[in-house]
Amino acid sequence: MEDQFLHDLRRAPSPEFASRLRAGLRAQGTPSRARGRSPAVPWLAAAAAIAMVSFAFLFPEVRVGAAAFLDMFRVVNFAGLRFDPQRIAGLKASGVDFPSLLGQVEPLTEPTAPVSYADASEAGQAAGIQVRLPAWVPPGYTLAETLVTAEHSARVTANTAKLQTVLDALALDDVRLPDGLDGQVATVHLPAIVGMTYRDGDRALHLIEARSAEVSFPAGFDVPALAQAGLRILGLDRDEAYRMANSIDWRNTLVVPVPVDAASFRQVNVAGADGLLIERARGGGMLLWSTGGQMYALSAPLGAEALLEMAQSLQ
């Protein structure tokens, strides 16, 4: 064969090298059979992360007490926020721990394993919501699994030292944190979540339904000022951060970070409700919307039209 000489130059890696590399990977936590993430996971993670991002902007200025919680954050709207994932990765690599950036997070309930239900209405009863099912799903997909994740609460005690350190490190000297924040406490309540997975062979789509997450915080707190700091850290320039921080209603808008190089987003109408459609550059996407006091997230390897059709068929 003409090309046999090219094949003949192959050589097996040395056993020492193969063993050394394998050991190194295992040292990083490589399991013998690890679960990969589904196409939906980055978006589901984003949906979960929106709580952290938005909640991070909502800290109280008074101490926790019976009369301290004078206002409440609930999700009514969604807003997309472009961010550079490499910037975030760089910050994480330099030691920035985002969940604790604004203070100490203390779980008030222990996380429990999700519970599987054979019937969506039973799952809804367990979660305390009325589950709506799609009248239309893409051909080939069938409901394969319904899980309920229990509600969860956490208390966040503000400490701006870390945040100020990050601002200083990034030379964001135009940002001024609100006074009187340290030591103040907010309570975050994440509701029970019903997650339904539809499968067509290896392909899966995920529909999530839950009551709105809530954060208790005091009225009168200068949320835009803190939001502006967060937006600057995420990479927005000074003017853009100021404009966005002061144009969003932070009491009812959940901010969804969208990687600038991987996806685009736009506002859409979902059966009369405002929704946020995130479309991945490599296909598939996620649709977020809220109606009747419940949040919905639909993540699937589908185009925008099919996502919307399925979402609008919920009943």
Interacting residues with other proteins (CB under 8 A): 2-3, 5-18, 21-22, 24-25, 28, 30-42, 44-45, 48-49, 51-52, 111, 114, 145, 147, 149, 152, 190, 193, 195, 197, 199, 202-204, 206, 208, 282-284, 299, 301
Starting at the edge strand that comes first in sequence, how are the strands of the sheet with 214-217 ordered? 71-74, 214-217, 185-190, 152-158, 103-107
Around Cβ 158, how many Cβ atoms within 10 Å? 21
* DSSP-H helix ranges across 95-191: 120-127, 161-169
For 261-281, the DSSP string reads: TTEEEEEEEETTEEEEEEEET
> What's the min distance (Å) between Cβ of 180 and other proteins?
29
Give the tokens for residue 296: 């919905």
Is-contact 191 52, C-beta < 8 A? Answer: no
Give whichever of 8 and 239 is closer to other proteins, judged by the CB atom: 8
> What's the min distance (Å) between Cβ of 86 and other proteins?
13
Give whichever of 32 and 142 is closer to other proteins, judged by the CB atom: 32
Which residue is associated with the tokens 């490599």? 282
> What's the min distance (Å) between Cβ of 263 and other proteins?
12
> What's the min distance (Å) between Cβ of 215 and other proteins?
15
Give whichever of 235 and 301 is closer to other proteins, judged by the CB atom: 301
> What's the min distance (Å) between Cβ of 36 and other proteins?
4
Q: Residue 126, SS3?
A: helix
* DSSP-H helix ranges across 109-194: 120-127, 161-169
> What's the min distance (Å) between Cβ of 238 and other proteins?
30
- CA torsion sign for 240, 102, 255, 248 is negative
Give whichever of 220 and 283 is closer to other proteins, judged by the CB atom: 283
How far is 72 from 55, CA to CA, in rounded Å?
11
> What's the min distance (Å) between Cβ of 297 and other proteins?
10
Give whichever of 214 and 274 is closer to other proteins, judged by the CB atom: 214
Give whichever of 43 and 221 is closer to other proteins, judged by the CB atom: 43
Give the tokens for residue 167: 């601002």
Give residue 117's identity as a one-letter amino acid code. Answer: Y
Give whichever of 129 and 241 is closer to other proteins, judged by the CB atom: 129
Altogether, the residues listed in the chain come to a count of 315
How far is 134 from 198, CA to CA, in rounded Å?
11
Q: Residue 232, SS3?
A: helix
First-to-last CA distance in the chain? 64
Give whichever of 45 and 169 is closer to other proteins, judged by the CB atom: 45
How far is 207 from 224, CA to CA, in rounded Å?
32
> What's the min distance (Å) between Cβ of 17 and other proteins?
5
